[in-house]
Amino acid sequence: MVDSPRFMHFSDTHLGNREYMMDLRENDFYEAFNEAVDIALEEHVDFIIHSGDLFDTWGPSNRALSELKDSMLRLKEKGIRTYMVMGDHDRPRRTDYPAASIFDFLGLTLMGADDLDTHYIEDSGTFIAGISNMKGSRLDALPQMYARADLMAKAYRNSILISHQGVSGYTHPEDVQVQEIDLPGSFAYLAFGHVHVSSYRERPRPFSYAGSTEINSASEIEPFLRDGKGVNIVDIDNGEVSFSRRRLKRPRIQIKIVTTKDGFIDDVERALQKFENMVPGKKPLIISEVHGSSDFSYFKEKIAAYSDRGIFRRPLLVKESAPAVKVGEHFDRGSLFMEYFRGDKKMTDLALAAYNTATSESQESAKERILALILDGEKKGADKEP
């Protein structure tokens, strides 16, 4: 029996994502995924943990399915199995099989689709528990699942919990499904997904968001330029964890510039001089927000002159009088709704509840729950009337 299993933990690969409707961005996501698989093979891991959002949508394209198949074949040749849970992007919006489940014959084990699942790897003496994303109507059952998993893990030294949830302290408040204090304490390692910025906490129990393998939104640009994207390599020796981070070399550099018409050229030039050669063979992607101008033809002409050095999104032109909403690493959707509804907390709470329901449940289920929320709000309002 191997007493110290080694595994790779990665997450939020979003295969099939065509960010900004660009084919090259879809290819970037496949390339990052394949680089992660390369690292697993180089590190001679015993198995792989994927903590959700394998695909960008529950109905992935044939290309996305084919890319996954090819990677699973490479791992299968080396006897490396993959254990994963579903993220909110993976979960079918209607009654159907999750896309990942069709690759079980290649060593991909999907866990915790509707309830806590467990698996024991005899060769390495490793106990794995999996809980998929439980947004919406499934959320009420989540605390009990974590409690059951915690009790089961007490019988094992080498134990891993895989889960795809928003944890307090790591994401904005309206995206939290579990408080950090309520996480199970008996596992040797907690492998989480959902938050795209990586983090690692050693005590009281090793906990990590592996983060996404490619940039999925402008809010990830700042932490990406600081820390990059990567995967976790983890060894467990009789319950003691050794953690290291392997940085991916191929994710495309993205840069966001907030500037003016007069400063546009200088700011673009500075950005390109700093970043254009950081990833050989990949031009940086430039996102710009320009204040004080509506002359798009001017920027179209200037951008064309840089086409051999960078890839440019159409600039966002903002009038000086328009309020600028900064969507950053700590973006709070609740504050945005509150501003939109002019401080009406009732409407803000309803909008948040409706948004979270619509993005996490099937169409029919979402309709029913949103209607119930509206009726409940109306009833509470009527009860308060004299």
How far apart, in whole angstroms, are the C-alpha atoms of residue 159 and residue 133? 20
Cα torsion 33, 39, 44, 45 to 10°: value is -50
**Cβ distance 29 to 61 under 8 Å?**
no
**For residue 160, which of 190, 181, 203, 182 has the smallest C-alpha distance?**
190
CA atoms within 13 A on the CB side of 282: 18
**Cβ distance 306 to 272 under 8 Å?**
yes
Q: Which two tokens stand for residue 247?
A: 């940085």
User: What sign for the dihedral angle of Cα 131, 136, 141, 142?
Assistant: positive
How far apart, in whole angstroms, are the C-alpha atoms of residue 145 and residue 135? 14
**For residue 160, which of 243, 227, 78, 57 has the smallest C-alpha distance?**
243
Considering 89, 164, 194, 196, which one is annotated as catalytic? 89
DSSP strands (E only) in 3-72: 6-10, 47-50
Our answer to whether residue 89 is catalytic in this structure is: yes
Q: Which residues are known catalytic residues?
A: 89
